[in-house]
Amino acid sequence: MKKMLFALSLSGALLGGSVAWAEEAVTTPASTADAVVVETTVTDVQPVAVPAAAEQAPAEEAPTLDTGDTAWILISTALVLLMTIPGLALFYGGMVRKKNVLSTMSHSFVAAAVVSIAWIVIGYSLAFGQGNAFIGSLDKVMLSGITTDALTGTIPEILFVVFQMTFAIITVAIISGSIAERMKFSAFVTFIAVWVVVVYAPITHWVWGGGWLGSDGALDFAGGTVVHINSGVAGLVAAYMLGKRIGLGRESMAPHNLTLTVLGASLVWVGWFGFNGGSALGANGSAAYAMIVTQVAAAAAAISWLITEKVIRGKASVLGAASGAVAGLVVITPAAGFVTVGGALAMGLIGGVVCFWGISALKRILKADDSLDAFGLHGVGGIVGAILTAFFASEFIMGDKAPVSVAHQLWVQVEGVLATIAYSAVLTFIILKVIDLIIGIRVTPDDERMGLDLSQHGERVE
């Protein structure tokens, strides 16, 4: 809990501009003495070579580039970007009313542009630069010092930079599902530029950059906490702060084109192989196993969602199938490199039912206008996946790295979930509050009734 409280205190430092960067630990490799051979001459005895020190252990091999691993991560990077543009843009764009389709799709497209710049300027350095347990440093600002020869494992570090950039992009784009049809475009752009640096980068450091959650043993293979809980919680907070759409509950808010949504969900599903499979950072068995459990979980969740929907609502919808598949993909993400296909099947079946509850009953309880269910799918799915990882993490897959105690691992997973929820919620509220005071975050009622395509962009779909 002390670490969680310290993490929250970081929010004030980041926003107040008074970050106390931890000094980088400079480690000087210990010099290795050469073996000394001493010749001792004794009368009538031949010279004998006597080693002055114990025989040296072989030097540790320096990491080397693997072209196969590099080729796979190049492909995975393109697949993850495909998840956002065009995947998520189409998935979200088809679910809003016709007068807001361009505005909604623009959120994903602009996220790719804004986050890319923020990531190379400072985001990557804060996430993966040397620092302390809670935040990275400024040693890699503008990718300083990263040459074409620098490696992360067996792949070029510059490739790791752009691979992680695509994760940051989709995380920000997911948030847009909660604020669709009523947020100012200028406010959205300002928000994501700040949020990816102040919220996303520190949480990434906690889990993957050498921070406290990773050190505590939290398991998050491809972004259950970093991406999905983080974005889902931020979206929920944003939905509360913006308020409900005009006419919600009185006017039809039906999707204008579910064909786009199904196409988008399909692209997201395909792209997820790069998301989870690429997180193995190599062309190996771990990547292949991550791909099969991803497929199994998505399929299982789609089926369990459809069955649940049929029982409760009387019909199994196409939108339900698409949403169920996405729920399964979210749930398996933190566990993709740690569970068997049996575990993935169970997690998918559970995830489909729980996420259906998240977008229906829980949504009514929370009373938030989470327009496209970013929290119900990603927030709830991420929480379920992170917790279930403790139960299904398998020695068969992980070997000696498997958790020794389910109870201990469960606490570590819950700790990560709670810390991510708290930090993301508090910082998102502060960022949006400041932006609201300066330029406002919601469009005027007249602009909202007109539609954001016309009021924010001067365009419309005929």
For residue 3, what pLDDT is reported? 55
Higher pLDDT, 133 or 59: 133
Whether the per-residue pLDDT at 33 is higher than 50: the answer is no
For residue 360, what pLDDT is reported? 95
Summarised one tens digit per residue, pLDDT across range 201-229 is: 999 999 999 999 999 999 999 999 999 99
CB atoms within 10 A of CB 281: 19
Summarised one tens digit per residue, pLDDT across range 291-350 is: 999 999 999 999 999 999 999 999 999 999 999 999 999 999 999 999 999 999 999 999
% of the chain residues with pLDDT over 70:
87
How far is 212 from 86, CA to CA, in rounded Å? 35
For residue 19, what pLDDT is reported? 36
Summarised one tens digit per residue, pLDDT across range 385-414 is: 999 999 999 999 999 999 999 999 999 999
Domain boundaries, the chain: 67-457
Whether the per-residue pLDDT at 153 is higher than 50: the answer is yes
For residue 54, what pLDDT is reported? 41
CB atoms within 10 A of CB 292: 15
Summarised one tens digit per residue, pLDDT across range 47-85 is: 444 444 444 445 557 789 999 999 999 999 999 999 999
How far is 312 from 102, CA to CA, in rounded Å? 33
Residue 113 CB contacts under 8 Å (≥ 6 apart), including other chains? none
* CATH superfamily ID and name for 67-457: Ammonium transporter AmtB like domains (1.10.3430.10)
Mean pLDDT, the chain, whole residue set: 89
Higher pLDDT, 20 or 459: 459
For residue 462, what pLDDT is reported? 81
| Structure token pair of residue 378 | 């990603």
Residue pair 180/92 in contact (Cβ under 8 Å)? The answer is: yes
Whether the per-residue pLDDT at 126 is higher than 80: the answer is yes
Summarised one tens digit per residue, pLDDT across range 257-285 is: 999 999 999 999 999 999 999 999 999 99
For residue 62, what pLDDT is reported? 75
Could you tell me the CA-to-CA distances from 44 to 37, 41, 50 in Å, in that order? Answer: 21, 9, 18
